[in-house]
Each structure stands twice: as C-alpha cells, then as structure tokens.
Structure 1
Amino acid sequence: MINTPSTTTLWRPTGPKELDLVRELDWRAWPPRLPEQPIFYPVLNEDYAVRIARDWNVKYDGAGFVTRFEVDSEFLRRYPVRQAGGATILELWVPAEELDEFNAHIVGTIEVVHEFR
C-alpha cells in the first residue's frame, strides 16, 4: 500500500510576469524571489487571494491570477500562520532562502483558478 502524504491547499495571487516564470517551471515550482522580496507568501484563503489578484495585481500589472496548489501538510508545520489583517487574511511566510525546499514539497501542479484583467 502506498502512503500518500496529507496535503494543504494554498493559493497565491500573482501577476503575469510571475505566472510566466511558473509556466517555465512546468507548473511545479515558484521562481526565486527578487532581492527586494525576502518572503514568499502563499495564502490560506481563496477569497483573500482573489481580492489581491483583482484589486492589486490588475491595477499594477494589468492582469491578476489566482493559483491553487497542494503542499505536504507535515512540511508546512514549520511555518506559523500569520494573520495579515482581518480574520480571513491568513498567510504563510516562507523565507526566500527556503523556497527551493518549499517547492520540493509541492504535490502535483500549480493551477490557475481565476483570471482578472
């Protein structure tokens, strides 16, 4: 019998440039952070991701996308949930230097679930 790890669903609002980089990585990883981006922050709530993609990414990038992906739940325990505002504004803060290890724990592929222009 194969033991499949339990996963947690995460969402990430993103603009077109980051999405192009995810596509180049075959939808299996997030690209390295830029020097001015010390934290990678996936979110725990689809509605929160929609608000960022629709209200922020469209305004600044011309388009916004919400992605959904699964990560090994046991691995995610190392990252405390951060409340970035209201009760449903929840994020994980992954230090940029840990992103390769985080990517190694993505189960399946990253998929686009919403698009805004």
Structure 2
Amino acid sequence: MRNNWLDTLFPANAERTVPWPAVGATVTLWRPTGLHELQLVADSGWRAWPPRLPDQPIFYPVLNRPYAEEIARDWNAARNAPPVGFVTEFDVRADVATRYAIQVVGAQDRHQELWVPAEELGAFNAAIIGPIRVVAHFVGEGFPGRINSVTHLPED
C-alpha cells in the first residue's frame, strides 16, 4: 500500500490528469495569489515562491491565465483579507515543470494545475527563469488600499 498524502486526498480512481503537450525549453505558468503571498514574492526579488504553511501540502501553479484570473477574482478578491487578488506569470524550465502531471480539477480545457509537493518547492523555485511578473489584479469590496492600474502592484 502506498503511503502518500496525495494518494489519500486524491485516490488513483479519482485522479484526472492530461498529458503534457509539446513544450519548448521553458513553460509559462500562472499563479493567483493574495497580498500577503505577493509581498513575500516581492521580498524574494520576484524570484521565488515562499515556503508552504503547515496546512498547505502543495504549491499549485495553473496552466492558463483565464483560470488564474478566475481564482484571483472569485476567491482571493472575494474571500481573502484584505480582499484583493493578483495574477502572476512566470517561466519555469520545462524539464522541471513536466515532472509534474497536469491535474484537471474542473473543466478539462480550463482548470489545469500542477501539484508541486511542499518539500519540492525549493527545487521548483530554482528552475524559475527570470522574474515572477504581476499581470492582473482584482479588488474586492472593502479593499482599503490602491493598486496601480499599469503595474498591478499595491501603492503605498
């Protein structure tokens, strides 16, 4: 019997994956995030994702911008405190990204993510090519701050 937290959460008969398409040397991924995680990414010089919290066993970048926007808008900006969501985009060496199966968590053509175990995030971060870029933001009701409409970054 396999003893793996992913097997417990997602038994083999429930798992939905799709094969990787042909890729070049890098793969572009997106990550919806809240303000706190974005600040930690900024603290890294826009080069790395922060370690997962104890209740976060996986890091899940997504494979398309519309899905990242959906999460940032409908989850981060609606349910986070403060109510704001950001969409980030970053490039990862394909030889590292393609080690992880593409997980389908909803509509097969849209809701695709990678599940990077927390203990592998350091190696995943080392494979990021260039900076992590903020490409969109969504502000929820009651957000007390201001976001620059060009950079999508919070203004002091």
In 2, Cα distance between equivalents of 1:51 and 1:78: 25
99, 115, 134: which one aligns with 1:112? 134
Amino acid at match of 1:43: V
What percentage of residue pairs aligned between the two structures are identical? Answer: 58
Instruction: Give the unaligned 5+ runs of structure 1.
Output: none
Q: How many residues align?
A: 113
Match of 1:27 in 2: 46
Detail structure 1 runs of 4+ shifted over 3 Å in the superposition. none
Match of 1:84 in 2: 105
In 2, Cα distance between equivalents of 1:40 and 1:95: 6
SS at match of 1:85: coil
1:10-89 equivalent positions in 2, closer than 5 A: 10-61=29-80, 62-87=83-108, 88-89=110-111
Structure showing greater Rg:
2
Amino acid at match of 1:84: V
SS at match of 1:79: coil
SS at match of 1:71: strand
SS at match of 1:102: helix
Amino acid at match of 2:56: Q
Instruction: Give the unaligned 5+ runs of structure 2.
Output: 1-23, 140-156
SS at match of 1:66: strand
Matched, 1:101 2:120: no
TM value normalised by structure 2: 0.71
RCO higher in structure (CA 8 A, sep ≥6) = 1
RMSD: 0.9
TM value normalised by structure 1: 0.94
